[in-house]
Amino acid sequence: MARLNGLVALMLSLPSWMLAQSDSLLVDSVASHPTLRVRSFAQVSQIDSIWSDSLWVWNGACDGPFRSFRFEFPDSTFCAIEIPCSQKVTEPSGLNARLTTASGISESQAWTAELLIGTCDIEALPRKPLSTSCFPPAVRADFEELLSAMERAVFETEKCSTLIKASENLCLTRDQMRKALSHIPSEDRRLETLERITPSGTEWTEVELKEMFQLNFILERALKRFTKR
C-alpha cells in the first residue's frame, strides 16, 4: 500500500504532458497474462472457466484422492496438473444426528482439495497439442456400458469394432483404454485397435505398453509406434 501511495504522489507532481506518458507507461508495465481455459472433471463437480489473471485459486470436491486440472492456451496447446485431495468426515445433521454419530454408521467421508497456482508456474509446465487429447473424460456409467457391450460381443472383431465406435463419441482416458483393450484376447488385434482409438500424436510409455502386450514381436511394434526410440 505504501508503494502504491508513493506512486500516486509521484504522478500528481508531474506536469500534464508527462502525466499522459506516465499513464501509458503504467498501463504497459502491468504484466499481461494469456487467457486460459481451465477445465477439470469429476463426478461430483465440473470446472470450465476462463482465467486471465496472475493467480488461480480454487477449492472444492473430488471423486477420490487426486483431481486433475487442464489449462488450455490460446495457441491450441494445454498442460495438466494433478493435485492431492484430503478426506474429511462429515457428520449427519438433523434430529437423529447424535444417535447416528454415536454408532458411526451414518458418518460419511468426502474428498476435498485446494489449489493456488500462478501463471508463471503454469507457463513453465510442458505443453501438448489439444489435438492429442479429448475432454471431458467418459463418465463411469458410460464406460461401464461400453465394457458390458464388449463382453456381450461374441466375436473378437465385434469387440474391436464396439470399442472403436465408442471411442468416436466418448473421450476415453488412458486407463479406460487399457482396461477396454484387455477385453480383446488377440494382441495383434489389440494393437490395431489401440492405433485406431489413440488420438493423433499421443505417446504411450514403455511401462504402459508392456502391461498391454506380452508378446515380444507385438510389443516391439507398439514401442516403435508409440514411443520415441
- Asked whether residue 6 carries a pLDDT value surpassing 70, the answer given is no
Distance between CA atoms of 151 and 1, rounded to whole angstroms?
66
CB atoms within 10 A of CB 18: 11
Cβ burial of 108 (10 Å; 0-12, 13-18, 19+) is exposed
**Could you tell me the pTM of the whole model?**
0.62
Confidence of residue 42 (pLDDT cuts 50, 70, 90): confident
Nearest-CA neighbor of 124 among 67, 73, 200?
Answer: 73
Residue 178: all three cell numbers together? 487399457
- DSSP class of 93: -
User: Which residues 6+ apart lie within 8 Å of 4 measured at CB?
Assistant: none
Distance between CA atoms of 210 and 181, rounded to whole angstroms?
13
- Asked whether residue 105 carries a pLDDT value surpassing 80, the answer given is no
Indicate the domain borders of the chain: 36-132, 140-226
pLDDT at site 55: 92
**Arithmetic mean of pLDDT over the chain:** 81
The 3-state DSSP class for residue 166 equals helix
pLDDT at site 110: 87
Distance between CA atoms of 179 and 184, rounded to whole angstroms?
10
- Asked whether residue 222 carries a pLDDT value surpassing 80, the answer given is yes
Residue 99: all three cell numbers together? 444417535
Question: What amino acid is encoded at 88 in this protein?
Answer: K
CA atoms within 13 A on the CB side of 193: 28
* Residue 162 parent element (H or E): helix 156-167
For the ranges 3-7, 82-86, 159-163, the lowest mean pLDDT is seen at: 3-7
Top pLDDT among 153 and 10 is at: 153
The 3-state DSSP class for residue 220 equals helix
Nearest-CA neighbor of 58 among 80, 76, 83?
Answer: 83
pLDDT at site 38: 95
Confidence of residue 21 (pLDDT cuts 50, 70, 90): very low
Average pLDDT of the segment spanning 108-127: 90
For the ranges 78-82, 90-94, 157-161, 168-172, the lowest mean pLDDT is seen at: 90-94
- Asked whether residue 184 carries a pLDDT value surpassing 50, the answer given is yes
Question: Cis ω on the peptide bond leading into residue 136 (within 30° of 0)?
Answer: yes
